[in-house]
Amino acid sequence: MIRWAAALVLFSSAVAFADDVGDWAREKVRQHPAAVKAEPLPKPTGRLWRERPGTGPLPDFIAPTSLAPLVKAVQPGVVNVATTNQGTSRSLGSGFLINADGLVVTNNHVVERAQSIRVRLADGRELDASVIGRDASTDLALLRLTGEGAGSLPTVFLGDSDRLEVGDWVVAIGNPFGLDTSVTHGLISARERVIGVGPFDEFIQTNALINPGNSGGPLFNMRGEVVGVTTAVVSQGQGIGFAVPVNLVKDLLPNLLANGRAERGWLGVNIQEVGDGANKAAVVTDVYKSSPAAKAGVRPGDKVVGVGGRQVESYLQLLRRIALLAPGTTVKLSLLRGKASLEVSATLIVRPASATLAAVGTGLKVDAIGLTLRDLPVEGGVMVEAVVPGGPADRAGLLPGDVLTEVNKRKLAAITQVAEAMGLGGEGQPVLVRYQRGDVSRYVAIKPSE
């Protein structure tokens, strides 16, 4: 009896379930015609994606194939640089021949402590070399090969680094870890990269692999021209290397050949950078009396937009263009005076010590560390107006146009605060200075003169 009762309950539940399903199905059938007759969703006004019509290539783009012909053409001009220090230790680097008489460009840090230098060519020949000139601030050095065969050597061509664009293909050739004439390739990752190593930060960033031993080697474009000198690698990252732009090298080479070091030319102006982004400009704030700029007719308020036919957009660019040129060099300046465009020529001279000490406006002369300061038109620091050549501030790397924001951890708003802040460190103690140069801020300790 119990079984029959249970079966009856199950049958009743099934019938009820079937009725529910039937009701649901009938409702859906009823709704279907209405759904069919409903207004359709609006069609998209454009395509969801784009496809390139036809099979033609991207305009102005040539897909790279083999780089072997380029490498074969330029490899003979790339050299291995080996140095002996203190009689026993050896360091290896790279370089490249710029003329048949045996002039070689490499990095300063490869040869700066060398007691002897030996250069090996790609064909296996080895020659002695001597340093003709070097400059630590740009990490560049010029060598001359000596000995039999030094007068008829294979050379490379120098290109134009100003024409580089992010995405351009490049090839690096050097001697990483002593492995002769190793070839890597990549592209330009960034231009004018500031990495905080000095006033001439203007590096080309590339993802072409660069390792110890590549230092001083060439970075080639797809025309087989040197566009940079490989100099640094970020050890914490992969595919991040840096090269000195070859146009900077070309500006410096006559100076190194003539003087053995970078004799800095002097124009005789103070510059303030105004604006930001694409509107940045290097504006002349003061012109020293009887200076090359004064003789050329430069006036306060002029915007310097070009040096030697090359565009200038910032204070740092102007500094680099002028400071690499030797005294006696005549340089063309492109100016904007109001709405008028002007071009003048100025012959650079050696910076006179007396001029650097003379405050042009109402500046503050700080003899202890060898500089002159003046207030900015807005709060946020004081500007370096002049630096005494060879003085403590000069040795520490400060430059006219730098903005001091702190002295001994005391924030500055006006030059009246400088003397008090300098006294916080104690007599004769190094002065801790924080300064701003362009977009980079850094600290430096300056030891006062005795």
Q: What is the pLDDT along the chain (450 residues), one digit of tens a residue?
A: 444 444 444 445 544 545 665 676 677 667 666 655 556 666 666 677 877 676 666 777 776 788 999 999 999 999 999 998 876 667 789 999 999 989 999 999 899 888 999 999 998 899 999 999 999 888 899 999 998 877 789 999 999 999 999 999 999 998 877 677 789 999 999 888 776 666 667 889 998 888 878 889 999 999 999 999 998 766 666 778 889 999 999 989 998 998 898 888 889 888 887 777 667 788 888 888 888 999 999 998 899 999 988 888 877 788 888 888 889 999 999 999 988 999 999 999 987 654 444 444 445 778 788 888 877 755 668 888 778 777 888 888 888 888 899 998 888 888 888 888 887 766 668 889 999 887 778 899 998 876
Contact criterion met (CB below 8 Å) for 177 and 74 = no
Sign of CA dihedral 94, 95, 96, 102: negative
Distance CA 280, CA 178 (A): 44
Do 247 and 270 belong together in one domain?
no
Residue 386 lies in a domain: yes
Do 162 and 255 belong together in one domain?
yes
Residue for token pair 């291995």:
80
Distance CA 69, CA 223 (A): 11
Contact criterion met (CB below 8 Å) for 167 and 154 = no
Do 338 and 374 belong together in one domain?
no
* pLDDT, position 22: 67
Residues in the chain: 450
Do 388 and 423 belong together in one domain?
yes
Q: How many domains does the chain have?
A: 4
| Annotated catalytic residue, options 94, 109, 291, 314 | 109
Residue 42 lies in a domain: no
* pLDDT, position 237: 60
pTM: 0.66
Q: How far apart are the first and last CA of the chain?
A: 119
* pLDDT, position 10: 46
Do 273 and 361 belong together in one domain?
no
Do 422 and 383 belong together in one domain?
yes
Residue 36 lies in a domain: no
| Annotated catalytic residue, options 161, 182, 189, 215 | 215
- Residue 175, C-beta contacts closer than 8 angstroms, at least 6 positions apart: 80, 92, 93, 94, 181, 182, 213, 214, 217
- Residue 1, C-beta contacts closer than 8 angstroms, at least 6 positions apart: none
CATH of the domain at 398: 2.30.42.10
Of 324, 350, 376, at which residue does a domain stop?
350
- Residue 150, C-beta contacts closer than 8 angstroms, at least 6 positions apart: 101, 102, 127
Distance CA 52, CA 57 (A): 9
Do 338 and 367 belong together in one domain?
no
Of 259, 294, 310, at which residue does a domain stop?
259
Residue 413 lies in a domain: yes
DSSP 45: S
32 three-state secondary structure: helix
* pLDDT, position 197: 60
- What are the beta bridge partners of residue 433? 407, 444
**Helical (H) or strand (E) element with 26:** helix 2-37
Tell me the one-letter amino acid at 37: K
Do 231 and 184 belong together in one domain?
yes
Of 350, 377, 406, at which residue does a domain stop?
350
The CA distances from residue 316 to 31, 237, 262, 323, 428, in Å, are 74, 27, 17, 10, 32
Distance CA 403, CA 315 (A): 12
Distance CA 150, CA 350 (A): 35
| Residue of 121, 214, 119 lying closest to 170 (CA atoms) | 214
Tell me the one-letter amino acid at 97: L
Q: Is 201 one of the annotated active-site residues of the chain?
A: no
Helices vs. strands in the chain: H and E counts, helices first: 9, 28
Contact criterion met (CB below 8 Å) for 418 and 382 = yes
Do 269 and 314 belong together in one domain?
yes
Distance CA 392, CA 385 (A): 15
Residue 243 lies in a domain: yes
Q: Is 116 one of the annotated active-site residues of the chain?
A: no
54-67 burial: b if 16+ Cβ within 10 Å, else e: eeeeeeeeeeeeee
Burial zone of 406 (CB within 10 Å; 0-12 exposed, 13-18 middle, 19+ buried)? middle
Distance CA 163, CA 175 (A): 27
Tell me the two tokens of residue 41.
Answer: 């969703």
Do 322 and 293 belong together in one domain?
yes
Do 167 and 83 belong together in one domain?
no
- Residue 41, C-beta contacts closer than 8 angstroms, at least 6 positions apart: none
Residue 27 lies in a domain: no
| Annotated catalytic residue, options 94, 135, 139, 375 | 139
**89-97 and 78-85: which strand pairing?**
antiparallel
CATH of the domain at 139: 2.40.10.10
Residue 275 lies in a domain: yes
Q: What is the domain extent for residue 362? A: 357-446
Residue 85 lies in a domain: yes
Burial zone of 305 (CB within 10 Å; 0-12 exposed, 13-18 middle, 19+ buried)? middle
Q: Is 66 one of the annotated active-site residues of the chain?
A: no
Do 226 and 185 belong together in one domain?
yes
Distance CA 299, CA 269 (A): 9
Q: Where are the beta strands (DSSP E) in 30-88?
A: 78-85
